[in-house]
Structure formats: C-alpha cells, structure tokens
Amino acid sequence: MLKKLFSRKPRESHSDPVEANPAAAEAPTRQEKPAAKPKSRAGGKRKPKPEAKPAPAWSVEDFVVPEEPGKVRFHDLGLDDGLMHAIADLGFQYCSPIQAAVLPHTLRGHDAIGKAQTGTGKTAAFLISVINDLINNPIEEERYQGEPRALVIAPTRELVQQIAEDAIGLTKYTDLNVVTLIGGMDYQKQQNQLARDLVDIVIATPGRLLDFTGRGDLYLDGVEQLVIDEADRMLDMGFIPQVKRIIRLTPKKESRQTLLFSATFTEDIIRLTEQWTYQPVNIEIEPENVATDNVDQRVFLVEERDKFNILQRIIRMPEAESVIVFANRRDQTRRLHERLRKSGIRCGLLSGEIPQNKRTQTLAQFKEGKIQVLVATDVAGRGIHVDGISHVVNFTLPEDPEDYVHRIGRTGRAGAKGTSISFASEDDAFLLPEIEKLLGSKLACEQPPEEWS
C-alpha cells in the first residue's frame, strides 16, 4: 500500500510574545513537498492514531507568574495548554536568555542557528518549539509505523538520553510518542518500540539512526522538524559524514524546519549551516554569560604526585555533596576510579569503554545520590545534565579550552551556585592562558592548604 506525502500545514499566526526583528515577523515561505508517490513500505502495517490522553483539569490561568522587567514568561508565548501544564509541573517560570531569544522565531516556523553552551536551557528551547508545532499541526490521515515527524540528533548516548528524558517530561499531557535510538543497547528492543506505536519524535545518535534507516525500520521522508544539537562536537567526533547521509533522507530544507545548536562556530560549521538551514535566524549567547556567573572557579597549583591526596581532601569536604572529576584520557579515569573506590569513596565511572547499560545505571545512581563521585572523560561528561552538582574537579586541564567551559558547566546549573577546582601541574599549566583567553578573564591561582598534600 502506498503512502501519500503530506505538506506542512501553515502555522497559525499569533501575537508577538516579545519584540523581535520586524524583518523576521513572518515565517519564510517553504516549498510544498513533491506530490510524487513514495516507495511502499514492505510489511508496514497501518495503525490507528493513538487516542489522546484525557484533558487534565488544569488551565493556564492556574499558572500565575508575575511580570519582571527584562524577562519573558512562558505563558507569554501562546503555547499549547498541555505543553504549558508540563512546563508548570517542571517549575519553569521565565525563559532563559537562549529561550527568550530563540522561541519567538522558531514558534513562527523560522529555522534557527544558536550559539550556546550546555546549561543555558537550549534543550528546552528546541523541544518546546518542536512539541508546540506538532500539537498545532496534527496529521489527520493515517500514518505508518517508523515514520517520525520530528528528529533530534545528538553526538553522545548520554546526551540523547537526557534530551529524551526532558522530551518525555514536556509531552506527558499530549499524545506525542518519543523514541530513543542509541548504540550499545539491544537493537530488537528499540525496534519493538518503533513497532509498538506511531512515533512522533525520534532522538538518536547518528550511527544507530543509520542502522535503523539502513534496515528499513525507520523512514525520514516525513520529518517536519530537524534538530542538530552540539554540531561542533559532531564535527570533532567525525560524525558529520553520517549526519550528511541522514539529512539527505529528510525532506529538502525548504520543506522542513531546521534548528542547529553549537558551542562554537568554525568555518566548517558555518558552511554546514548554510547547506542545512533555510533563511535562519542567528542567535548567540556568549559563553562567559553562562560559564562563570554561578561558578566559583579555583585553580590549585600542585605537584603531579600530590594530586590524588588533594582530590580526596576535596571529596571529603562536607559541602562536596555531589562531585564530577574530569580527566583527559580513559586510562586516567580508570585508574582514578579504582583508587577512589579502594579509598572507600562511593564513585562511578563514565567513559566510552563502559557498556551503555552500565553507564545508564551509573548516571541514575549519581542522580539519586547513591554515589557521590563520577569520574568522567569529556565525551561522556557532555551528556551529564544533573542539577545540584556541587563541585567539578579538573584532575587534568583540558587541551581544548571549550572543554573547560563544558566541564565547569556541569555545576552552577539552573541558577544554583557551584564550585570548580582545577589542578595545574608542571605537565599542563601551559594550557591556562588559552582557557583564560576564551573566558575573557584571568583565573586566580592558589596553593592548596599545606596539610592537604
């Protein structure tokens, strides 16, 4: 049986929630999808659309947030009531800077390119836009299994899982179905998720996504919303060829909405944004606005041989309730984890060599407070989005200054205060000037208490 392609329905216009660029007042005109018939889905069974969840006895009038100068309230944005209910449950009242800058444009249908670090609220920014669009533009005709309407691509498993967790929280009062596809987990179980019901939002790593499209278990020709998160890290990890293959499976850029976020914009990233987006708005949130305001940054000048003893002292401080320790290499994190464990410290290890189910379990234990310390590499650590982390320790300084910002961004989240402590030894102190250049300020260096060595 053949499936008819559908055109994106025009979005309803609503009043401007905040003042925006007049030139961007109307969404760009997008081309309709071609009327040619697609290939049939071999063995694909149609399922009826899932019944909508009962409407909650809740009204946006129940969510009263006072006006504050310079701040945008979520209920100023004209969002769907079910989405607003979820936002209220999560305790979100005012938009973060990236949300206030992006949402007025993306809710009208504009493509967007956002320069923002983790911890700025960018995940909620793109999820709110995607979810609101899917709710307001339902597909009336029957649909096939394995055909998402929205696709989010992220570089690491942990980041995908965190985005999915946020998406599930924001869609709980809707009939939207969220599916996560990541490597290191059972393929059949993920395949069963797709077969169980219609899927609206797929959140995936590039490699696993191509596994599913290659086997004919997932089709992307109906994608209306495409989100590419942490594009710079995708480039660093060599995923761009895979992302290009994925994008070729989606409708043309004029027929979909594309949102792309990156902490940095090199010439390579800029060229990619030109290829993938259509008349985008450009939003930039400076790293210093998010990396330092809520984080007390300290640098200890140490001898290499004293690092571990000082680390133990930090971890055993009463205020060090929840700690992430970063090192540059897997072998360093492995040795650190083993030494901390033998010292009686409740700790877990996150690195690329740890099986995904074990990493998921470790992160859950950390969130629940069952373990006090996480030892992590940069790639694994970028997926850690946990509120309430009191301390970040850089056991070794990162070679890339951007990784320093990402590391300390694990603490001081959601308006809370946090502390980062970096060890600078004779082996890596030369990396400090480049970090300071990125931050735009000097880092005060100090000797740790003498009795700690």
Nearest-5° Cα angle at 380, 378 to 381: 60
The SS3 assignment for 365 reads helix
CA–CA distance, 243 with 339 (Å, rounded to integer): 39
- The confidence score (pLDDT) of residue 20 equals 41
Task: Summarize pLDDT for 262-289 with one digit per residue, the tens.
Answer: 888 889 999 999 999 999 999 987 654 4
The b/e string for 5-30 (b: 16+ C-beta within 10 A; e otherwise) is ebebeeeeeeeebeeeeeeeeebeeb
- Express each pLDDT in 26-85 by its tens digit: 556 555 544 433 333 434 443 444 455 555 577 877 787 888 888 999 988 999 999 999
Query: Tell me, what's the pLDDT at 23?
Result: 41
The C-alpha atoms of residue 257 and residue 149 are separated, in whole angstroms, by 11
Give per-residue pLDDT as tens, 315-343.
999 999 999 999 999 999 999 999 999 99
- Using one digit for the tens of pLDDT, what is the confidence trace for 382-409? 667 787 899 999 999 998 888 898 889 8
**Amino acid, res. 198:** L
Beta bridge partners of 392: 324, 420
Top-confidence residue, 57 or 438:
438
Q: How far apart are CA 340 and CA 333, in angstroms?
A: 10
> What token pair was written down for 202?
């797929």
Q: Is 325 helix (H, G, I), strand (E, B) or coil?
A: strand
Distance CA(83)–CA(107), nearest Å, equals 13
Rounded to the nearest integer, the mean pLDDT of the chain is: 84
- Taking only the tens place, the pLDDT of each residue in 139-183 is 888 888 899 999 999 998 888 998 999 999 999 999 999 999 998
Highest mean pLDDT among 111-125, 294-308, 353-367: 294-308
Q: Is the pLDDT of residue 348 over 80?
A: yes
Which domains are delineated in the chain? Answer: 54-285 (3.40.50.300), 289-452 (3.40.50.300)
pLDDT digits (tens, 9 = 90+) for 415-427: 678 999 999 998 8
Q: What is the pLDDT of residue 264?
A: 80
Give the phi and the psi of residue 251 in degrees, each rounded to 5. Answer: -60, 165
The listed range with the strongest mean pLDDT (115-119, 242-246, 400-404) is 242-246
- What does the pLDDT look like over 210-238, one tens digit per residue? 999 999 999 999 999 999 999 988 887 78
Answer for the pair 311, 325: CB distance below 8 angstroms, yes or no: yes
Q: Between β-strands 143-144 and 46-47, what pairing exists: parallel, antiparallel or unpaired?
A: antiparallel
What does the pLDDT look like over 402-412, one tens digit per residue?
A: 889 888 988 88
If 0-12 CB within 10 Å is exposed, 13-18 middle and 19+ buried, where does residue 200 land?
Answer: buried
pTM over 0.85, yes/no: no
Task: Reply yes or no on whether the pLDDT at 15 is more than 90.
Answer: no
Is 152 strand, coil or helix? strand
Please report how many Cα atoms fall inside a 13 Å half-sphere around the Cα of residue 84, on the Cβ side.
19
